[in-house]
A and B are shown apart, each in its own frame.
Chain A
Amino acid sequence: GAVVSQHPSRVICKSGTSVKIECRSLDFQATTMFWYRQFPKQSLMLMATSNEGSKATYEQGVEKDKFLINHASLTLSTLTVTSAHPEDSSFYICSASSGGAGDNEQFFGPGTRLTVL
């Protein structure tokens, strides 16, 4: 159980285009989803936290107009990288939590590698 999928797994796009990445919890309802970015040989950096039906909370330094997050249902969150540029090339990973009291275990998707030419 607790499977999270991401689509696409890999995307290459031209500079200036927008790219949408989907994150789905397949067998549980995710009240909270998280988006992380990971540069080569570095750790994961939290970009934003999204709760179903409300606006995402962005970390300091992350442009909300650049990285649009939608969490329209309990099983789906999307991250849209608008007007992508080469510096946005990175590995984007989502995670999902079913919430509730106690431990905050997150289940991670397999990641999406974005390359902007």
Chain B
Amino acid sequence: SQQGEEDPQALSIQEGENATMNCSYKTSINNLQWYRQNSGRGLVHLILIRSNEREKHSGRLRVTLDTSKKSSSLLITASRAADTASYFCAYSNSGYALNFGKGTSLLVTP
């Protein structure tokens, strides 16, 4: 299976704290993407980082990529209750098909 691994599987924090999620993958990649999914809903694209990039920012999101370790991390700063969702990394090594990680379930309590 080319499915990526994410940790932690579940994360519970309080509003204002930072949340860090990690993703590891097994193959070479063109890019890696992070998605968010609210319970029972579709996916929302958060950020894409290319294989030749090491770090990328978008608002309160910071993504890093270490291709030598085949890993990526997503940091959400100053978390809010509305950030409660599942977060998935996804990557492709050829073509357009995405391989999704197992996801991290984030709970942000007020």
Stretch at the interface among A67-75, A82-90, A98-106: A98-106
Docked pose: A41 CA to B100 CA in angstroms: 13
Interface range for B: 20 to 34
Most chain A CB atoms below 10 A, which of B45, B48, B50? B45
Contact A103 B31 (CB under 8 A): yes
Assembled-state Cα–Cα distance A110/B41 (Å): 6
Given A43-B3, A105-B33, A105-B48, do A99 and B96 touch, yes or no (CB 8 Å)?
A: yes
Per DSSP, are chain A's interface residues mostly helix, strand or loop, or mixed?
strand
Chain A residues within an 8 Å CB radius of B41: 110-111
Instruction: Point out the residues of chain B lying under 8 angstroms from A36, CB to CB.
Output: 100
Contact with A along B55-75 (1 / 0, CB 8 A): 000000000000000000000
Q: Which residues of A contact B103 (CB under 8 A)?
A: 42-43
A106 touches B96 (CB 8 A): yes
Interface string of A38-74 (1 = CB under 8 A from B): 0001111110010000000000000000000000000
In the complex, whether A113 has a CB less than 8 A from a CB of chain B is: yes
**Which of B33, B43, B44, B50 has most chain A Cβ within 10 Å?**
B43
* Interface residue tally for chain A (C-beta within 8 Å): 26
Q: Is B97 a contact partner of A34 (Cβ separation < 8 A)?
A: yes
Is there contact, CB below 8 Å, between B42 and A93? yes
Query: Per-position contact with A for B80-110: 1 when CB-CB < 8 Å, else 0?
Result: 0000000010001001111111110100000
A46 lies within 8 A of B97 (CB): yes
Q: How far is the CB of A74 from chain B (nearest CB, A)?
A: 15
Whether B88 contacts A44 by the Cβ 8 Å rule is: yes
Which A residues lie within 8 Å of B40 (CB)? 91, 111, 113
Cβ of B102 and Cβ of A104 under 8 Å apart? no
A108 to B99, CA, bound (A): 14
- Which chain A positions have C-beta within 8 A of B99? 46
Of the A-B pairs whose beta carbons lie under 8 Å apart in the complex, a sample of 12, sorted by A's number, is A42-B103, A44-B43, A49-B95, A49-B96, A93-B42, A95-B43, A95-B98, A106-B96, A108-B35, A108-B43, A110-B42, A113-B40
Chain A interface (Cβ < 8 Å from any Cβ of B): 6, 32, 34, 36, 41-46, 49, 91, 93, 95, 97, 99, 103-111, 113
